[in-house]
Amino acid sequence: MNSVTDAVLAVLLVTLRLGPSLAFAPPFTLLRVPVIVRVLLAIGLSVWLVSARQELTVQAAVAGPFVALLISELLVGVGIALGLQLAFAAILWAGRAVDIQAGFGLAMLADPTTNAQTPLAGTILSYGAAAIFFSVGAQYDLIALWAASFDALPIGYTLLGADLPAVARFVSTLFLLAIGLVGVSMLAIFLADLVIAILSRTLPQMNVLLLGFQVKAMIMLVTLPICMTLALGPYLRLIRLAVTGPADFWKFAA
Q: State the Cα–Cα distance between residues 183 and 98, nearest whole angstrom.
A: 9
Partners of 162 in the β-ladder: 250
**What pLDDT was estimated at residue 154?**
77
Question: 63 with 156: CB under 8 angstroms?
Answer: yes
Question: 116 with 150: CB under 8 angstroms?
Answer: no
Q: State the Cα–Cα distance between residues 111 and 113, nearest whole angstrom.
A: 5
Considering only CA atoms, which of 42, 45, 46, 38 is closest in space to residue 7? 46
Question: 11 with 47: CB under 8 angstroms?
Answer: yes
Q: State the Cα–Cα distance between residues 15 and 21, nearest whole angstrom.
A: 10
Q: What is the pTM of this model?
A: 0.83
Whether omega before 27 lies within 30 degrees of 0, making that bond cis, reads: yes
CA angle 13–129–193, rounded 5-degree value = 135
**What pLDDT was estimated at residue 110?**
67
Q: State the Cα–Cα distance between residues 3 and 129, nearest whole angstrom.
A: 42
User: What is the per-residue burial (b if ≥16 Cβ within 10 Å, else e) of 226-242?
Assistant: ebbeebeebbbbbbebb
Measured from the Cβ of residue 156, the count of other Cβ atoms closer than 10 Å reads 17
CA atoms within 13 A on the CB side of 208: 14
Tens digits of pLDDT across the chain (254 residues): 567 777 888 888 888 888 888 888 888 888 888 888 888 898 899 888 888 877 777 766 666 677 777 888 888 888 888 889 999 999 989 888 888 888 776 666 666 666 667 778 888 888 889 999 999 988 888 888 888 888 777 776 666 556 677 778 888 888 999 998 888 888 998 888 888 878 777 777 667 666 777 788 888 888 888 888 888 888 988 888 888 776 666 555 44
Residue 110's identity, in one-letter code, is A
Instruction: Report how far apart, in Å, the C-alpha atoms of 21 and of each of 27, 58, 158, 183, 190 are.
Output: 9, 25, 18, 29, 37
**What pLDDT was estimated at residue 253?**
45
Instruction: Report how far apart, in Å, the C-alpha atoms of 107 and of each of 89, 112, 187 are.
Output: 18, 16, 21
- The 3-state secondary structure of 103-143 reads CCCCCEEEECCCCEEEEHHHHHHHHHHHHHHHHCCHHHHHH
Question: 250 with 159: CB under 8 angstroms?
Answer: yes
